[in-house]
Amino acid sequence: MLGLDNIEKVKPGGLELKDRLVAVNRVTKVTKGGRAFGFSAIVVVGDEEGTVGYGLGKSKEVASAIAKAVEDAKKNLVKVPVINHTIPHQTSARYGGADIFLRPATHGTGVIAGGTVRMVVEAAGIKDILSKSKGSSNPHNVVKATFKALLDIRRPEEIAKLRGVSLNKVFNG
């Protein structure tokens, strides 16, 4: 997917995945016989319990483009650390012209995010988060930047082991 080290890949078998259509784009190829229309769709799938993936599908019809995108998304599922319905720490990432900032929020805050980022974090099962999308609003780059930011998150257990301290000390200093 994006070539990061700490990615935990997930197999789609046995998961109750819900798909969300992020965007459909109509593309036109001009030939000497006229215009040939095609469609590309980007879809996010997730089980709302920390597993999420995205996919791109292209076809002459909208329905088959979406179906191809869902199949592609199921091949690219990853595990995202979700603790108490939010992320463990703030993170940011850039992909192309899209710049995404994600910050954990207290219980009851809800998902404070724009449309594209909202779809990704809701599919991952994050219920409380603050986010800001800067730069490009291109859905493809925003989805990829959001995934990059989510995959940069480290689990508290991992940080405690790295520092050689208890999990309690990581949270309370």
Q: Is the pTM of this model over 0.85?
A: yes
Task: Give residue limits of the domains in the chain.
Answer: 18-79, 91-155
Mean per-residue pLDDT, 48-73: 95
Pick the CATH number of 18-79 from 3.40.50.300, 3.40.109.10, 3.30.160.20, 3.30.70.260: 3.30.160.20
CATH architecture of the region 91-155: 2-Layer Sandwich (3.30)
3-class SS string, the chain: CCCCCCCCECCCCCCCCEEEEEEEEEEEEEECCEEEEEEEEEEEEECCCCEEEEEEEEECCHHHHHHHHHHHHHHCCEECCCECCECCCCEEEEECCEEEEEEECCCCCCEECCHHHHHHHHHHCCCCEEEEEEECCCHHHHHHHHHHHHHCCCCHHHHHHHHCCCHHHHHHC
pLDDT per residue as tens digits for the range 115-163: 899 999 999 999 999 999 999 999 999 999 999 999 999 888 888 888 8
